[in-house]
Structure 1
Amino acid sequence: MGAARPNPIQWLWYAVGGRLPARLNEWVLHDVTCPSWVWRHTARSTVVISPFTLACLLVPGPLWVRLGMMGLAVLVGYYFSFSYMVESCEHRAAKHGHAPGTAHGIRQAAREEAHAEANARARARYDARYRQDTPAHIAPDAETR
């Protein structure tokens, strides 16, 4: 990851769906693939959800109704944000010049690398238990084919 990062105004624009300058394309890919990509997505979602949530306070009516509206706005906003988190990050990366599927591929490769040793141990245990030599009375007969 290079030293190029967006300034706060650029980041706010990026958080609400804007496109950053081309020199920040690598930072965008890092943003949607780093180990903390879910937290970064949450921060971007919070920037989008907050104005709508705070606007609920301006609606006339009892405080409990306004607080209920705020709660529902947060609940629905985060629900849809997290439901489409992967797609949103893929679109964000594609919008900044990366091939579709690049972000998911990078995250998948990192996940596989992080869990390679544990997966190998689990595979060895599985093979030892279920992939032993097949008994002759169960093996398919070559002559019956």
Structure 2
Amino acid sequence: MPNTPVLPHPQRVGYILGRTFPPSMSEWVLNDLTKAGAARRYLMRFLIPITPVLMLFLLVPGPKWMGLAMMVLLSLPRIYFTAALMYVYRRSRLIKHGLDPALADAESRRRAEADRLDYERPHGRD
């Protein structure tokens, strides 16, 4: 993000925990939630912090595969629901910061429109 400010660590932690930024930071929030890498950042924020807790299953007495199996059994639904609720979360954060929630999927709508035009052009439907 070339023209957006870099947040100091305490501000970033507050944002990740749900803090609302002032309107002067709207551009940063918009870039964080809608531009390239937004999905990756979202998934990292929800999946990485729980990893150390899940690794405690490796301390369970018995074969190591049992601890790994317990980690996987808890991780799969978490990954599934985290990915499934990404759009809802992004819209909610945009609303919370006073931004238009339709911006959450503006890029995908733009790509869909371009694909539709590319499809219709050879058939004479400009």
Shorter-chain TM-score bucket reads 0.7 to 0.9
Give the letter for the 1:61 counterpart: P
| Contact map agreement 1:54 1:70 (CA 8 A) in 2 | yes
Q: Greater RCO between the two (CA within 8 Å, min separation 6)?
A: 2
| Contact map agreement 1:52 1:73 (CA 8 A) in 2 | no
Q: How many residues align?
A: 122
Runs of 5+ consecutive residues of structure 2 not aligned to the other structure? none
Residue 57 of structure 1 corresponds to 58
Tell me the TM-score normalized by structure 1.
0.66
Higher-Rg member (1/2): 1
| Contact map agreement 2:20 2:96 (CA 8 A) in 1 | no
Note closer, same or farther for the CA distance 1:10–1:52 as it changes in structure 2 (3 Å cut): farther
In 2, distance between residues paired with 1:126 and 1:48? 51
After TM superposition, what 4+ stretches of structure 1 lie above 4 angstroms from structure 2?
none
Superposed CA RMSD: 2.7
Tell me the TM-score normalized by structure 2.
0.73
1:122 to 114, 119, 122: 119
Runs of 5+ consecutive residues of structure 1 not aligned to the other structure? 129-145
Identity %: 28
Q: List aligned pairs for 1:86-101, cutoff 5 A.
A: 86-101=87-102
